[in-house]
Copies of this chain bind each other. A is one copy, B any other.
Amino acid sequence: MNSPATLDSPSGKRARAKAANRQAILEAARAVFARIGYDATTVRDIIRETDLAAGTFYNYFRSKEEVFEALAVESTRRFRPRLKEVRERATDFESFIEGAYRAYFDFLAGENEDAIRHGAPHMALIGVRVDTPEMQVIFEDIRADIERMLDRDKLESVDTEYLTAAAVGIARELGDHMLKRRPIDVDEATRFATQLLKAGLTGTLGDVPGSC
């Protein structure tokens, strides 16, 4: 009659400990990266933050780089469902773009709010500027979305890879600058990015001159 386990904690004590250790290392790493910066951080710094021994670290990750990557993957994992929701709600190109930008800027603000609150000496942008495979998956997601939206709406004579790259570039750079302003204004950044891309696109699509 004992219920076997909750959903996210596996059956045995063994497996539970394993998951907990992995998580502890990830959290410790996040903390240390934020405190002293990624470059300065050593594997020992990370493991010291947990109650594990040095050797144990290597049961979970091969290196500090791999921990970082895992953190990045974690971030993208958290972001993807948001994008999916946007995709499902979107009725046309504009609403998709707007939703996607809002989702990204909002996510970015959320991810960095701890770091910001604590003065964030370093590494405010965990998991953002990195080009992990997971990041490329998101890129392709967006590209596919854009392609679909364009098909649905109008022409498709656009270089969707470049268009996606431009959209993503705007998001990244604008996001960085948004984070530096106080108060952080997600709406403002969303409006700016959306309008720019929307207008830019109609201008690009409407290759045909005199479309008025």
Contacts and interface: CB of A to CB of B under 8 A. Distances in A.
A212 interface: yes
Q: Which of A197, A199, A202 has the most CB of B within 10 A?
A: A199
A170 B166 contact: yes
A204 to B, nearest CB: 5
A198 B188 CA distance: 21
A38 B161 CA distance: 28
Q: Which 5 A-B residue pairings sit nearest by Cβ, starting from the closest?
A: A199-B203, A169-B173, A200-B200, A169-B169, A212-B212
Contacts of A197: 200
B165 A176 contact: yes
A65 interface: yes
B177 A173 contact: no
Given A161-B177, A165-B174, A169-B169, 16 more contacts: A39-B65, A129-B129, A162-B174, A163-B196, A165-B170, A165-B176, A166-B169, A170-B170, A172-B172, A195-B203, A196-B204, A198-B203, A199-B202, A199-B203, A199-B204, A200-B201
A203 B200 CA distance: 7
A170 B129 CA distance: 14
Q: Which of A159, A165, A203 has the most CB of B within 10 A?
A: A165
For this chain, the copies found in one complex come to: 2
Interface in A166-189: 166, 168-174, 176-177, 188-189
Nearest to A210: B212
Contacts of A173: 165-166, 168-169, 172
A192 interface: yes
B159 A192 contact: yes
Given A162-B189, A170-B169, A203 B196 contact: yes
